[in-house]
Amino acid sequence: MNRINESVPQEFILLGFSDRPWLELPLFVVFLISYILTILGNLAIIIVSRLDCKLHTPMYFFLTNLSLLDLCYTTSTVPQMLVNIRSIRKVISYGGCVAQLFIFLALGSTECLLLAVMSFDRFVAICRPLHYSVIMHQRLCLQLAAMSWVSGFSNSVLQSTLTLQMPLCGHNEVDHFFCEVPALLRLSCVDTTANEAELFFISVLFLLIPVTLILISYAFIVQAVLRIQSVEGRRKAFGTCGSHLIVVSLFYGTAIYMYLQPPSPASKDRGKMVSLFYGIITPMLNPLIYTLRNKDVKGAFKRLIARILLIKKYPSDRPYRTEVHKAIQSPLLL
């Protein structure tokens, strides 16, 4: 094959919905608002989880990891998307496309495993409450988080390498908003059956197996919750687990649709919208879901705001330190 035809392009054209220019302004507004809310919401969860000692638990350690992951996840794609939507030339450099592909795939794979780890944490907390602190000790939490991150990035190295080795024969128009494996495979001028089979196998490992384990753990959780005599305890358990289940449904449902369905021309536009959902909308909704449905996080936000307001009111008066401390610990703020 002619080596010129296999040469690496200097840049890629991201088509997105360029054939529907009337959609560009509404999409720009939606993406911008979603990105701002994602940054603010996830940063707020990270800050309040670190500053409030009541949230120094395994559950909020993993939630902090999820928020950090979502911050990086959206930042890897959304800024470039916003620039391209308002530009005449909707391009991304080859190096930028490689970086976007690697980071997006690494963080997406990490989130698949991290959500499964979070469900295991909830399983132990509800089904083995007396042994929770013994089982979910700090070392195990660090190991589980590290395993998720290392596995996600290892998968990205493999997938990115295999995808970028495919000859493009001069093709550089990506029918997508950003550089993602299925869209780049469609550019190749050779048979991609082996790559698609490998992508399907990896997707089963990172999508179907974790979601199956999550469903099994929640089957045990539901049984344990139904045995709780206290109505308040049952409500709290369902509230905490309900937040996690909503996040799991949103993320895994859209990702499974994107990566485990057979490729077809008719599904291209639907695939774009689905990838936008798990790439932009889900990271934006995660902080809202975990804060609006969680009394502990809402209480931590109230305590943090009270601390800031009282310290501003009495910036240097030592006699008021006790008053500040008492106000923060007030039952009204719990």
pLDDT higher for 73 or 258? Answer: 73
pLDDT bucket at 334, cuts 50 / 70 / 90: very low
Do the Cβ atoms of 306 and 333 come closer than 8 Å?
A: yes
| pLDDT tens digits for range 195-205 | 888 888 988 88
Tokens found for residue 147: 């395993």
pLDDT higher for 177 or 113? Answer: 113
What's the pLDDT at 144? 96
The domain made up of 11-308 has a fold known as: Rhopdopsin 7-helix transmembrane proteins (1.20.1070)
| pLDDT tens digits for range 111-143 | 999 999 999 998 998 888 889 989 999 999 999
pLDDT higher for 173 or 121? Answer: 121
What number is the average pLDDT over the span 79-107? Answer: 89
What's the pLDDT at 291? 73
What's the pLDDT at 121? 92
1 has pLDDT over 50: no
d(CA 182, CA 19): 20
